[in-house]
Structure 1
Amino acid sequence: MANTSTQGQPVQYLPTLEHDEGVAAATKLFAVTFGTEPSGVWSAPGRVNLIGEHTDYNAGLCLPIALPHRTFIAVRPREDTTVRLVSDLGDGSVAQVELGGLKVLGVKGWAAYPAGVAWALRESGHGEVRGFDAAFVSCVPVGGGLSSSAAMTCSTALALDDLYQLGFGGDDEGRVTLIKAAMMAENDMAGASTGGLDQNASMRCTPNHALLLDCRPELDALHSVSQQSFDLDALGLELLVLDTQAKHQLNDGQYANRRSTCEQAAKTLGVANLRVVADEVAASSDQAQALMDVLGQLSDETMRRRVRHVVTEIGRVRSFVTAFAAGDVAEAGRLFNASHDSLAHDYEVTVPELDVAVDVARRSGAYGARMTGGGFGGSIIALVDKGQGRHVAQHIADEFALRGFHAPRALAAVASDSARREA
């Protein structure tokens, strides 16, 4: 792997696009590309998951926050069913998709995400959704495990909801319909398996709060989420997010393999999903023994390790919410560490860059550190004292330089707002 850094070079911090800057940039790209003005500009955030990894598709618990880093979309509806798309992350070329007759996996490349949202809405009975022209401008790191794809699909979904007056974007319950369209776009058109955490975070998070997301399918919109105060300043803390820039890809079969193993385990155990097992273990007077009894019913060692991660991770989400609310920073950090160790050893979704970054963060004074997102590359988060984020990030960057890894990038995570209309 090529070394793109030298030891001692200041670590790069990723800036945000503020409201005026994002609107102006998206509007300009639209006008230059399509020769007219957009009907409006919308945006949606990336997300970082505090804890609860690979639990969403197991009907478990997750705890994401929305990032201040957002994707802006300038859009104008069309009278036909053609979709034309341009992104500031590309070479300026326009991707074109015809919605009429579009089938599953019918679009290749990044255009599958926004075009897939329109397709999903039409497939769900909203035939009034037609074609559109759209320009995307984003500061969400691509491939960093911070859900740049959900920022794109959710901003598109909210824009189409407004433009075609579907009426879903105005409340939490309605946004669940848009979330389902965004998930359908990723799963069925882009072929990138997703369990819903990312889209829920991008659509439902609120400033200064973490979203406690309960993914049990029987819950309605009102009961599937609760807003948990996430005030880092009050505890004198900072949440460092560091993108390792290790290649991050979830559509190469690894994610789907983990998901399939969990579904097979649930079937073997005779339960609808592994959340049922996690709740039974949590209710036991001897949780360790209860977990051992469950694992003893599985003959495959890999399956046992996958199940152990899911069950214990769901428990760690509950414990983290309790610890943070009580101001128990040491316990919150311990839970971060335990989560990463489980993801590394039981779920096997880390890579050397993630493990090294976590190890250096811990040695540099972090209360706890863990990978975040689907794994196989991407980002870590570290809970540190306020003002220490750059210090920790620099130590990681220096270690990466010594090992010949790509130079990492960092950002400051502040719990931010969900998808919204900007102009």
Structure 2
Amino acid sequence: MGVRPPRGRRVSARRAAAAFREVHGAMPDGVWAAPGRVNLIGEYTDFNDGLVMPLALPHRTWAAASPRTDGRLRLHSAAAPGGVVELRTADLAPGAVRGWAAYPAGVAWALREAGHTTGGADLHIESDVPVGSGLSSSAALEVATALALTELHGPALPPDRLARLAQHAENAFVGVPCGIMDQTAAACCAEGHALHLDTRDLSRRHVPFAPDPEGLRLLVVDTRVRHDLGDGAYARRRADCEKGARALGVPSLRDIAYGQLPDALEALADEPVVRALVRHVVTENERVARVAALLVAGDLRAIGPVLSAGHASLRDDVAVSCAELDLAVAVANGAGALGARMTGGGFGGSAVVLAEAAGADAVAEALTGAFASVGHRPPHVFPVRPAAGARREL
């Protein structure tokens, strides 16, 4: 089979605008887009004030939109049945909207809560970011909506502010206690770079990451095992991390230096679950720092073992992997990949693989064969290059 793009409809800003006209009866005032993301390294660290290093995908969510003066939101998605969802912005409150519409509605609510004039809007959503694959389809939807609403009603907000508002929408309105990484990646990433983000102070730098000129490929392996971070498992791990910080007398696990880890683990000997999470967060911050240093030095191949070590930590200490993700990582490494790890919140979703370009097809074929041999659905394996963050496209 080899490496190929993910299946799905071909989406573009013009397609989104044309679909908006079919739904809402006129061409939109504009089309805004935000990307999905792959996290190269730095998992379960963002809500611990830690370090992360995502990159934006070429796959995007488009929000075609026009303003309304009657305070109503009329929301439509090409991927959702049921037609237009109509809401009054004055009635928006946490828990009042369910399903996919909660994400754009939550953004409108967060903007209103922050004192921004949003008014109403007609929106049509198109996307080629795989849903439930650990590639941040929700953050792409939130940031695209936030960019559209703020530019329609003014004033435009800086990308980091959009990310904060989108995160608040997901935390407080949708009810998923995610960190800031996904929304910041969607809003702030740069083409040809990974984003080194300190989630404590939101300082960020763009680290060059261009695998193709080095004869490498970065592959995403969508296991097609869908996950739902709203089911409570993600929230329990966040709560246990906060419990560990309290037990160790620090504001967050970010404050445990790598050299202090042995003493921290000894202090948590009677709390095995919390102890394991602390070990992961502290060592994962160290892995992010190592990958950043290697990329700056231009030693892309050397990050492979660090990726694989990150997967082992997520599997064993955080317990958020699954059989399909473990199989993907093991088979990819066995087929000659330089390194591989699950990416995203886990419980399904995707893995990321760094491979030699000459061997990428062999890795993909080994993955397809291995999944078939144990009766799993065939994975979608496709190459990605670091793309740009959110922007107006039409």
TM-score by length of 1: 0.90
**Is the CA contact (8 Å cut-off) linking 1:202 and 1:418 kept in structure 2?**
yes
Q: Which residue in the other structure is 1:171 paired with?
A: none
Q: Which residue in the other structure is 1:38 paired with?
A: 28
State the AA in 1 paired with 2:237: R
Distance 1:403 1:68 in 2: 31
Q: Which residue in the other structure is 2:137 paired with?
A: 148
Structure 1 residues 323 and 11, CA gap change in structure 2 (3 angstroms): closer
For the pair 1:55 / 2:25, whether they are aligned, the reply is no
Structure 1 residues 387 and 11, CA gap change in structure 2 (3 angstroms): closer
Q: Which residue in the other structure is 1:295 paired with?
A: 265
For the pair 1:364 / 2:310, whether they are aligned, the reply is no
Please point out which of 130, 134, 138 is paired with 2:123: 134
Q: Deviation at 1:394?
A: 2.0
Aligned runs of 1:277-292 on 2, under 5 Å? 277=256, 280-281=257-258, 287=259, 290-292=260-262
**Is the CA contact (8 Å cut-off) linking 2:50 and 2:198 kept in structure 1?**
yes
Distance 1:86 1:388 in 2: 42
Distance 1:46 1:243 in 2: 13
**Is the CA contact (8 Å cut-off) linking 2:2 and 2:361 kept in structure 1?**
no
Distance 2:8 2:30 in 1: 20
**Is the CA contact (8 Å cut-off) linking 2:321 and 2:346 kept in structure 1?**
yes
Please point out which of 275, 279, 284 is paired with 1:313: 284
Please point out which of 373, 383, 389 is paired with 1:402: 373
Distance 1:416 1:62 in 2: 17
**Is the CA contact (8 Å cut-off) linking 1:361 and 1:392 kept in structure 2?**
yes
**Is the CA contact (8 Å cut-off) linking 2:192 and 2:208 kept in structure 1?**
yes
Q: Deviation at 1:330?
A: 4.7
State the AA in 1 paired with 2:284: E
Deviations 1:29-85 (CA, angstroms, capped at 9, x unpaired): 111111111110010000000000000000000000000111111001111221111
Q: Which residue in the other structure is 2:95 paired with?
A: 105
- Partner of 1:111: helix, strand, or coil? helix
**Is the CA contact (8 Å cut-off) linking 2:224 and 2:379 kept in structure 1?**
yes
Distance 2:44 2:118 in 1: 33
- Partner of 1:133: helix, strand, or coil? strand
Distance 2:231 2:156 in 1: 36
Residue identity (%): 45
User: How many residues matched?
Assistant: 393
Structure 1 residues 227 and 329, CA gap change in structure 2 (3 angstroms): closer
Stretches of structure 1 lacking an aligned partner (at least 5 in a row): 1-8, 169-173, 282-286
State the AA in 2 paired with 1:291: L
Distance 2:9 2:211 in 1: 22
Q: Deviation at 1:260?
A: 0.3
Q: CA RMSD in A?
A: 1.6
State the AA in 1 paired with 2:49: A
Deviations 1:296-334 (CA, angstroms, capped at 9, x unpaired): 111201111010000000000000111233343453111
- Partner of 2:230: helix, strand, or coil? coil
Select between 317-326 and 45-54 the one with higher mean Cα deviation: 317-326
Q: Deviation at 1:17?
A: 8.2
Aligned runs of 1:4-403 on 2, under 5 Å? 13-14=5-6, 22-91=12-81, 93-126=83-116, 128-168=117-157, 174-216=158-200, 219=201, 224-277=203-256, 280-281=257-258, 287=259, 290-298=260-268, 299-403=270-374
**Is the CA contact (8 Å cut-off) linking 2:218 and 2:384 kept in structure 1?**
yes
- Partner of 2:267: helix, strand, or coil? coil
**Is the CA contact (8 Å cut-off) linking 1:17 and 1:69 kept in structure 2?**
no
Distance 1:43 1:344 in 2: 33
Deviations 1:209-229 (CA, angstroms, capped at 9, x unpaired): 11000011xx2x5xx101101
Structure 1 residues 17 and 315, CA gap change in structure 2 (3 angstroms): farther
Distance 2:359 2:68 in 1: 50
Distance 1:266 1:71 in 2: 36
Q: Which residue in the other structure is 1:5 paired with?
A: none
